Amino acid sequence: CAESNIPVIVLDRPNPNAFYIDGPVLDSNFRSFVGMHPVPVVYGITIGEYAGMINGEKWLKNKVQADLTVVPLLHYTHDSLYKLPVRPSPNLPNMASVYLYPSLCFLEGTKVSVGRGTDWPFQVIGFPNCPVGDFEFTPQPNEGAKNPKYKGVKCRGYDLRKEGEKFPEKYKQLQLKWLLEMYSAFPEKENFFRTSFDLLAGTDELRNQLVQGKTEQEIKATWQPGLQEFKKIRAKYLLYP
**In one letter, which amino acid is 94?**
N
Question: What's the pLDDT score for residue 127?
Answer: 98
Report the chain's C-alpha Rg in angstroms: 19
Q: Which of 21, 19, 30, 26 is nearest to 54 (CA)?
A: 26
Residues of the domain holding 45 = 8-83+225-235
In terms of domains, do 140 and 182 share one?
Answer: yes
Q: Is residue 1 part of a domain?
A: no
Beta-carbon contacts of residue 126 (< 8 Å; ≥ 6 apart):
112, 113, 133, 135, 136, 137, 155, 156, 157, 158, 182
Q: Are the beta carbons of 204 and 53 closer than 8 angstroms? A: no
Burial (CB < 10 A; 0-12, 13-18, 19+), residue 239, is middle
Q: Where are the beta strands (DSSP E) in the chain?
A: 8-11, 22-25, 40-42, 68-71, 124-127, 135-137, 155-159
Q: How many domains does the chain have?
A: 2
CATH number (domain holding residue 133): 3.90.1150.140
In terms of domains, do 133 and 188 share one?
Answer: yes
Helix residue ranges per DSSP H, the chain: 47-56, 95-104, 161-165, 167-170, 177-185, 197-201, 205-211, 216-235
Burial (CB < 10 A; 0-12, 13-18, 19+), residue 110, is buried
CATH number (domain holding residue 58): 3.40.50.12170
Q: Is residue 154 part of a domain?
A: yes
In terms of domains, do 117 and 73 share one?
Answer: no
Question: What does the pLDDT profile of the chain (241 residues) look like in tens digits?
Answer: 888 889 999 999 999 999 999 999 999 999 999 999 999 999 999 999 999 999 999 999 999 999 999 999 999 999 999 999 999 999 999 999 999 999 999 999 999 999 999 999 999 999 999 999 999 999 999 999 999 999 999 999 999 999 999 999 999 999 999 999 999 999 999 999 999 999 999 999 999 999 999 999 999 999 999 999 999 999 999 999 9
Q: Is residue 125 part of a domain?
A: yes
pTM for this one? 0.95
In terms of domains, do 196 and 231 share one?
Answer: no
Q: Are the beta carbons of 126 and 138 closer than 8 angstroms? A: no
